Structure 1
Amino acid sequence: MLSSKEIIEMIKYVDGSTVDEVHYEHDGFVVKVKNQNPGEQQEAKAQVPTVVAERGQEDLTPTPETEQQETTETHTVKAPMVGMFYSSPSPDDPAFIQVGDTVKEETVVCCLEAMKMFNDVQADVNGEITDILVENGDLVEFGQPLFTVKPA
């Protein structure tokens, strides 16, 4: 099965390229990434490729409401997949991070649960957590902002 990081890389590869579609299948899990504008130059508001995970037939394309502009002052950690947001590894454990915590690229900041599988989400940047944008137990969409980080 692909990790969330590998799925993101697949999306980045297809987005704005001349590739029409990428199809991945393993043990009954299917991911299709379709380029909505193959071969065209990206514009400022280019469309994002559509991703379909066939077990749940969920459309993982971010909507305009879930997209947030990043500034040079902060980095936004976004959901790499659709899933249930958990701020700690288990209900009895403390949260992975708090506002004000210093994180490194590989620091686990939360986990997302989808289809009974728990996937760790990493900060992907060195810095300080400035805001937590979702609540424990919230259902998040692909590309939804989860945290803001002031890069170090």
Structure 2
Amino acid sequence: MLKVQEIREIIKLIDKSSIDEFTYEQDGEKLKLKKQSRKTVETAAEETPASETVAEQPEVKTEPVKEEKKPEPVKETQPEPAADLENTVEIKSPMVGTFYESSSPDAEPFVKTGSKVSSDTTVCIVEAMKLFNEIEAETEGEIVKILVENGQLVEYGQPLFLVKK
């Protein structure tokens, strides 16, 4: 089966392309990716019998339906003192998506401030295109600060955690 990094690359490529659906099958395992479709409203003109004219086609108009999303409030953060930032490493988001601190709404967070992590410790989940990607610390140390809120949209490369080595 594909590795997580390969799946991430496929997601990026599909996101940039005009492909709406992608299916990959290997050794009986199947990976199916779909872009979220935009809802459209269609109106068609009255049908004209084909014998009357060939040049005229029914008119189809599509208009995207706007779905309003309330933006997450942005919390202003004060700059950290330089002494606190020494020997710290940022765990950054490897993709654009939604940050989740736990595997389900009623589960305990993967990590909290003060939690000890190793390179293979799962620290959060980032959901991208209905795929839930477990993010590993990739460093060793102690979580000193969680920089994002649960359910917040995150960008590629955005710092999620500060880890003191």
Counting matched residue pairs gives 99
Q: Is the 8 A contact 1:4 1:119 kept in 2?
A: no
Match of 2:47 in 1: none
**CA displacement at 1:125 relative to structure 2:** 0.4
Q: Could you list the runs of 4 or more consecutive aligned residues of structure 1 that deviate by over 6 angstroms after TM superposition?
A: none
**Unpaired segments of 5 or more residues in structure 1?**
8-23, 33-51, 57-70
For normalisation by structure 2, the TM-score amounts to 0.53
**CA displacement at 1:123 relative to structure 2:** 0.5
**CA displacement at 1:3 relative to structure 2:** 2.0
Residue 102 of structure 1, aligned match among 108, 116, 125: 116
Match of 1:31 in 2: 13
Match of 1:90 in 2: 104
Say if 2:126 is the partner of 1:130: no
Say if 2:76 is the partner of 1:75: no
**Separation in 2, partners of 1:76, 1:30:** 23
**Residue identity in the other structure for 2:139:** V
Q: Deviations over 1:26-81 (max 9, x none)?
A: xxx5529xxxxxxxxxxxxxxxxxxx64366xxxxxxxxxxxxxx65100000000
**CA displacement at 1:97 relative to structure 2:** 0.3
Say if 2:163 is the partner of 1:149: yes
Percentage identity across paired residues of the two chains: 44
**Separation in 2, partners of 1:94, 1:5:** 29
**Separation in 1, partners of 2:133, 2:12:** 17
Match of 1:3 in 2: 4
Match of 2:134 in 1: 120
Q: What is the RMSD computed on CA atoms of the aligned residues?
A: 2.5
**Separation in 2, partners of 1:72, 1:78:** 17
1:16-27, aligned counterparts within 5 Å? none
**Separation in 2, partners of 1:126, 1:5:** 25
